[in-house]
Homo-oligomer: A and B are copies of this chain.
Amino acid sequence: MLTPVGLRKHRRTPFKAGRTRTIAEQWLRTILGTLREQSTITRTEILGRTGLNGASACHALQHLIRAGIVFKAGELQSKTGRRREILRLNPEAAYLVAVDLEASPIRFALTNLLGDLVCRWEENLDLREPLELAKIANGVEMVCRSLARPQRERVLAVGMSRPGVRDSHGRVTALNLGWRKFPLEENLISVLNLPCFVQNSAQSFIMAERSHGRAHNCENCIYIEVGKGVGAGVVANNQFLGGHTQVEFGHITIDPGASDLCRCGKRGCLEAIASGPNIIRQYLESTAASGVPPAAMQLADVFDRARRHDPDAIHVVNRVARLLGIGISHLVAMFSPELIILGGYLVRAEDLFMPGLREELSLQVCDWMGHCEIAISALGIDIGLKGAASAAFYGILNDPRLLRTMCRLGNSAAAVSS
């Protein structure tokens, strides 16, 4: 089971309340995490993956089956004639709300426990005003309305994927949402009637790739988002990395000699060179006679011009590909991932960037650093929502009160459906 590091700390608290009971909660947590990752699984496979002993796993599975959260989906018969039950997570045992604040318009979805999207909603951003939390509350309300009223109490938590940075006091600065040192989590409590688990977008993206994408079962993998900003979500030794804050990949000084000024105030940050707005800036700076008024220039225009052999556009693209390659090589050196998944504008400009990026990586990564596969994300625009749903799911598992509620509700769902 993948453990979101930010949530791990809650684990030890319940042991003080009632020790015998909560060890069982740890078993439930481990088994449910494994079931979500594997979709179908036998008891033997659960033992192998979780490291639980037979009695504990049997006890926890009985409880989950009785509660209607896990069900028997069939049987496998081995050559020796021994039958093995195939177990599955009941996806409709509870619901989650996923919120993606990185997208524009901001997006909402109701999902089942597996993260399958049941219903969507969008809210436009007014770029002149800071995003109001009432808008988020409204979006959450709208997707919940797709459920019949008795079912609504089965919506257990909200998962949220946010852009920007979070300081050590928990205040979020996300310029495109108009937030500067905004105490997001503190304020969310007062506007949402549901517990909310917030994480940054890059962490969401790697969570989504782990549960629905290419990084399935991959113990060391990284998602790199290159869009309005540059971010990285890291899974190292099967754990999400985040430290106190998050992996600030965009703000490493990738070229100490560069004059590119970053919005963080430093010069030569990877984000100051490789983010979308900075590609446009570099292109405009390099050419006085672009033929397009600066304000109307789009990232796609720069890419089009590079494809039509505009030397200025090609120069910018090559510089970005090279420095991104160097930046990625740092991640390879630090984390030795088996897989790096690239997202953001690289998805639609693979032809422009990938040859230069791969060439630079081949120069920068020594053979003794181990082999690392580089791939482009194929999850599309729902990646943020799927990651946010994962954050909500693991948030529930790590909160003893919510876990108990899920077991209770699963039971009533099973009673209704039977």
Contacts and interface: CB of A to CB of B under 8 A. Distances in A.
Contacts of A322: 256
B251 A366 contact: yes
Contacts of A255: 255-257
A140 to B, nearest CB: 27
A409 to B, nearest CB: 27
A243 B329 contact: no
Q: Which residue, of A239, A249, A369, has the highest number of chain B Cβ atoms within 10 A? A: A369
Contacts of A237: 5, 8, 239, 241, 243
A20 interface: yes
- Assign chain A's interface to a size class: 35 or more
Interface of A: 5, 8, 11-12, 15-16, 19-20, 22-23, 47-48, 51-56, 165-168, 173, 220, 234, 236-237, 239, 241-249, 251-257, 264-266, 322-323, 326, 329-330, 333-338, 363-364, 366-371
Contacts of A5: 237
6 contacts: A12-B51, A168-B370, A242-B336, A245-B336, A245-B369, A252-B330
Contacts of A367: 167
Contacts of A248: 333-334, 336, 366, 369
A266 B220 contact: no
A220 B253 CA distance: 22
Given A243-B335, A256-B257, 20 more contacts: A11-B51, A15-B48, A19-B53, A19-B54, A20-B53, A167-B367, A168-B368, A220-B244, A237-B243, A241-B335, A244-B338, A245-B369, A245-B370, A247-B334, A249-B333, A252-B333, A254-B256, A256-B323, A264-B366, A266-B364
Contacts of A16: 48
A371 B166 CA distance: 13
